[in-house]
Amino acid sequence: MEKPAGMYAWLAAALILFLVVAGVALAACRAERRIVLFGSGSTFVEPAMVQWIRGFHNVEPSVEVNYIGGGSGKGQEDILGGKADFACSDPPLKRRAFEAHRGEILQFPVVLGAIVVTYNLPGVNESINMSARVLAGIYLGEVKYWDDPAILQLNPSLRGRLPHKPIIAVHRSDASGTTQIFTTFLYKATNGYWPRSLVGKVVPWPVDEKGNGLGEQGNPGVASAVEGTPYSIGYIEWAYALQRHLSIARIENPHGLFVKPTRESVEAAYEALETPGPTGDWTSYVYNAIYSNASPKAYPIVGQTFMIVWRYHASREKCQALKAFIEYIAGPGQEQVLQGYAPLPENLRRVALEAASLLECRG
């Protein structure tokens, strides 16, 4: 018996409706399975983090990782306050915070890097020499002009070329691991000429009181300020200086040698340092790497970024996604490290992988 054409039209319409509904349901199911991780903290690591997130998404497309670089202090605040799934901080947790959460929180390096001294000095294209004492004098407001005898002594070939222009000292205005590293270097390398009271993520800069200081937010802010301000000087993470083609000074190390940052000179600063585990206290490790006398080749203002995570997680899916992200960073991610960073040596990669294995997914 021949079926009426209307019946075929009805069946076709029903089939289309079914496929549409099924497609919507499938898309909703996929959306429900999408896992979002939120990270907060260091701008030092932000360029590398962007690269890792992109690479990890290609491997795990169901996991979305968002990272906001508001500074190391913000990262620590967010992870301890339960506002982030992971934090990145250039200094590790202070001993008091670490002891308060011993065994409950993990911290481990994810990349090595350097703090560089960059400057905008019209008419001078070559790299200049700088020492901790001269840099301390600049940020204390005591070395005020580019042709100061202390700067000329380090750069005799520039005599007659360094201008009698005020030095504008650019620094971070936010809570910054970059500042922590830089001020630690100034204190350690000047035997206290830079006082201990001016070591930290946020410090009162004496040069501001002298009218020659300029505070900016984040590494990008300092880099932009130096780039746009003639006769300025600043400290930023190495990768930012390379990206913007800014001048980079050679810094005097404990052996009296003026060294520029390279992967080799950064790695040399960490030679022979005893490595804590992910449940350990890293404060001494970080201090010993700065102005390290481990090698004559060592660059003296080195830093690293730590990832900080809680050990126990109520959400099994988030926990497993975080574990996979850490494993990616410690594995393939180290082979993709951008110019301006140094990859982790094998012993530090093992620490990061150990941290991933210690995550407990309880959900």
77/277 Cα distance (integer angstroms): 22
48/86 Cα distance (integer angstroms): 15
Higher-scoring residue by pLDDT: 292, 26: 292
pLDDT at 22 (0 to 100):
43
Are the C-beta atoms of residues 115 and 230 closer than 8 Å to each other? no
> Which pairing describes strands 302-310 and 86-89: parallel, antiparallel, or unpaired?
antiparallel
pLDDT mean over 233-258: 96
94/235 Cα distance (integer angstroms): 23
How much of the chain, in percent, has pLDDT values that exceed 90? 87
354/356 Cα distance (integer angstroms): 5
The whole-model pTM stands at 0.83
Residue 230 reports pLDDT greater than 60: yes
| Segment 187-215, tens digit of pLDDT | 999 999 999 999 999 999 999 999 999 99
Residue 359 reports pLDDT greater than 50: yes
Nearest to 299 by CA among 342, 335, 242: 342
Cα–Cα separations (whole angstroms), residue 234 to 32, 138, 207, 227: 46, 10, 12, 10
Nearest to 117 by CA among 258, 241, 283: 241
Mean pLDDT of the residues in the chain:
91
pLDDT mean over 54-68: 97
pLDDT at 342 (0 to 100):
94
Nearest to 141 by CA among 167, 176, 117: 167
235/84 Cα distance (integer angstroms): 28
* Helix, strand, coil percent values for the chain (each to nearest 5): 45, 20, 35
pLDDT at 30 (0 to 100):
43
pLDDT at 362 (0 to 100):
85
pLDDT at 271 (0 to 100):
87
pLDDT at 363 (0 to 100):
67
Nearest to 20 by CA among 31, 30, 28: 28
Question: pLDDT tier at 9 (50, 70, 90 boundaries)?
Answer: low
H/E segment holding residue 275: none
Cα–Cα separations (whole angstroms), residue 286 to 73, 139, 161, 349: 16, 23, 38, 16
| Segment 264-279, tens digit of pLDDT | 999 999 988 999 999 9
Q: Chain-centre distance of CA 267, in angstroms?
A: 16
| Cα-based angle 140, 141, 143 (whole degrees, multiple of 5) | 105
Q: Chain-centre distance of CA 173, in angstroms?
A: 16
Are the C-beta atoms of residues 251 and 130 closer than 8 Å to each other? yes
> What domains are defined for the chain?
35-111+273-281+303-361 (3.40.190.10), 115-267 (3.40.190.10)
Are the C-beta atoms of residues 330 and 353 closer than 8 Å to each other? yes
Are the C-beta atoms of residues 165 and 108 closer than 8 Å to each other? no
* Tokens describing residue 269: 């600063």
32/17 Cα distance (integer angstroms): 22
Are the C-beta atoms of residues 247 and 286 closer than 8 Å to each other? no
